[in-house]
Amino acid sequence: MIRHLLGDELVEAYAGPDQGVQNVKASEWEPFIRTMPHSEYPSASACLCEGFARQVENFLGNDKIEPALQFPPGPPPAGLNASLEFASWSEISQVCGDSRVWSGMHFAGAVPAGAELCGGEDMAKSIHDSFERLKAGDESAAVFKSDVGELMDVVWNSCRL
């Protein structure tokens, strides 16, 4: 949209690693993070995060992670020394969805909408039942064979019914 609306107008944008912010022609601007070929709202990532969390909770019988999952700091950007700890699958789902907002991939309202789309008990039971059928050798339980986009179409259409 930026390239088409602003044409040859100069825009200030992130130019890439070790290049910082520079003025570039809008017609030559490229996003640093790839733009996904689907809508921003609702967040498909938040949908998958919440569906996963609810299915694991359903499978384990509770939302707790004991002992808590701990991720020590990795090689961070300069000045950042962050570690993560999760004591529940709900926390993982929340941070997973929020990370989409933090990275600029979604506006804040898209995350709870995506989580709501896939977070119900019916969805968790459906996922669990599909896993059980697959474990038993029933390949017809596979929701998709090759493309995650097909899965999101199935999820979206089944949740709208």
Say if residue 1 is in the same domain as residue 77.
no
Residue 161 has a pLDDT of 43
Assigned domain for 120 exists = yes
Assigned domain for 71 exists = yes
Residues 20/35, Cβ–Cβ less than 8 Å: no
Residue type, 50: E
Assigned domain for 39 exists = no
pTM above 0.75, yes or no: no
pLDDT per residue as tens, the chain (161 positions): 778 888 999 998 887 777 888 898 999 888 777 777 777 889 988 998 998 898 888 888 899 999 998 887 766 555 566 778 999 999 999 999 998 888 778 888 999 999 998 887 778 778 888 888 888 888 887 765 545 555 556 555 655 44
Number of structural domains the chain divides into: 2
Coil, helix or strand at residue 8: coil
Say if residue 9 is in the same domain as residue 50.
no
Report the alpha-carbon distance of residue 117 to residue 42 in Å, rounded: 8
Coil, helix or strand at residue 25: strand
Q: What is the pLDDT of residues 28-64, one digit of tens each?
A: 888 777 777 777 889 988 998 998 898 888 888 899 9
Other CB atoms within 10 Å distance of the CB of residue 152? 17
Residue 86 has a pLDDT of 94
Assigned domain for 52 exists = yes
Say if residue 27 is in the same domain as residue 52.
no
Residues 59/125, Cβ–Cβ less than 8 Å: no
Domain span at residue 11 reads 1-32
Per residue, the 3-state secondary structure of 116-139, as one string, reads HHHCCHHHHHHHHHHHHHHHCCCH
Assigned domain for 148 exists = yes
Say if residue 28 is in the same domain as residue 104.
no
Structure tokens at 37: 């070929």
